[in-house]
Amino acid sequence: MPQFAARLNTIVTAEASQLLSEVKEMQRNGRDIAMLCVGEPDFDTHPRTGDAAKAAIDAGATKYAPLAGVHELRQAICDKLRRDNGLNFTVENVIACTGGKQVIYNAFMATLDPGDEVIVPAPYWAGYPDVIRICGAAPVFAETRDVDDFILRADTLECAISDRTKWLILNSPSNPTGAMHDRSDLEALADVLRRHPDIWILCDDIYEHIRFDDAPFVTLAQVAPDLKDRVLIANGCSKSYAMTGWRLGFGAGTSELIDRMITIQSQVTLAPSTISQWAAVRALEENLSIQGEQLATLLRRRDLAVSMLNQTAGLNCNRPKGAFYIYVNCARIIGRSTPDGRVIETDREFCRYLLDAADVAVMPGAAYGLSPYFRLSYAIDTEELERALARIQTACAALR
């Protein structure tokens, strides 16, 4: 029999996508499941962004684009970085990719060799470790704690660094916790990183515009300009601009790194969809991100969810400052029994119980490297969210 590649032994199909397919199947069979497991805004892309794509099609912009993206998009990315982040980059410093995911893939393929290590603060977006493993390198997990609001501590970072460390990943606002670094958090990490000049830093800023309570967004290159040449910013339109399906991400870093990323991209996908690029030019130039009433809606949902979760027997959570996730502590659930007598031993089993008993789909903390928790996404209709949270409360109250 023909055989599959050995690299498949180290990676899995993204667990959230698997759960999504399973739940979709249940819904087809008539079950009314609340999807608190999705990683995308429930809002539509801004109509002006869509108009730019239609205009691109009508203008015949349907051919291959230059490898790193059309010049206008690269310029719009530079302008965005200057306007929103106070960072100066020129077009040689930026690349347009097929989603933020490919920014990360290109960067790691261009820099990681077998034996290299990447420090991944846990809990982490499940996309990081497997991309690191595809490159033959090893993720090294640095745990954060809910009492620290899931912010990576400088001493934890220091302990995770070895002479094989090639990258540190920072993701703020964070998937799966919604945590956000402030200036002093980043300054403390910068102090450690200055002592280790061979480490690159990936700043995954993809949730940049989804934040609450006037929490300012800061990224490491702003706080520590002396480290800018070691930073790769990974950002994109998916989350902040409600454009997940357009598959448009962008990276910014030194031209040396960007050149290598372009080489990788040239052998994987070429440039991202030309039509999506023109949509992104409009979205970035006119700053058509999630804002105003949409942000206010997300804020109301966050506060509703935080308050109902903290009134649920056995659960507690922090009030996240950004993204649209809550990472809920379910330690007090572990060891309890379901009405039919099964003992819940892990967060995975608890999530299965919620799916069976409450018709609610959430993601187990085990998928993000920190247990016992689950990730709840509140990017769904507010009334549906409220009904789902009430069902979680009932299901938890039924445990013994």
Comparison of 27 and 244: residue with beta carbon closer to ligand PMP: 244
Comparison of 93 and 98: residue with beta carbon closer to ligand PMP: 98
100 contacts ligand PMP (rule: CB under 6 A): yes
Query: H or E stretch including 296?
Result: helix 292-310
Figure out which of the listed residues 123, 178, 236, 320 binds ligand PMP, where binding follows CB under 6 A. Answer: 236
Q: Six-digit token pair at 275?
A: 């039509």
Cα gap 49→44, rounded to integer Å? 10
Q: Which of 246, 318, 304 lies closest to 276 in space, CA to CA?
A: 246
N-terminal to C-terminal alpha carbon distance within the chain: 51
244 contacts ligand PMP (rule: CB under 6 A): yes
User: 99-111 and 255-266 are packed helices; what angle lies between their axes, rounded to 10 degrees?
Assistant: 100
Binding mask 165-204 for ligand PMP (x = CB under 6 A): ------x---x----------------------------x
99 contacts ligand PMP (rule: CB under 6 A): yes
Residue nearest ligand PMP by beta-carbon distance: 99
Query: H or E stretch including 44?
Result: none
Number of residues that bind ligand PMP (CB under 6 A): 14
- Give the other-Cβ count within 10 Å of 398's Cβ: 15
Cβ(100)–Cβ(131) below 8 Å: no
129 contacts ligand PMP (rule: CB under 6 A): no
Stretch that binds ligand PMP, among 20-28, 148-156, 236-244, 363-371 (CB under 6 A): 236-244
Figure out which of the listed residues 238, 273, 312, 371 binds ligand PMP, where binding follows CB under 6 A. Answer: 238
The footprint of ligand PMP on residues 247-276 (CB under 6 A) is: 249
Cα gap 372→393, rounded to integer Å? 18
Q: Which of 269, 278, 365 lies closest to 317 in space, CA to CA?
A: 365
Q: Which residues bind ligand PMP (CB under 6 A)?
A: 39, 99-101, 125, 127, 171, 175, 204, 206, 236, 238, 244, 249
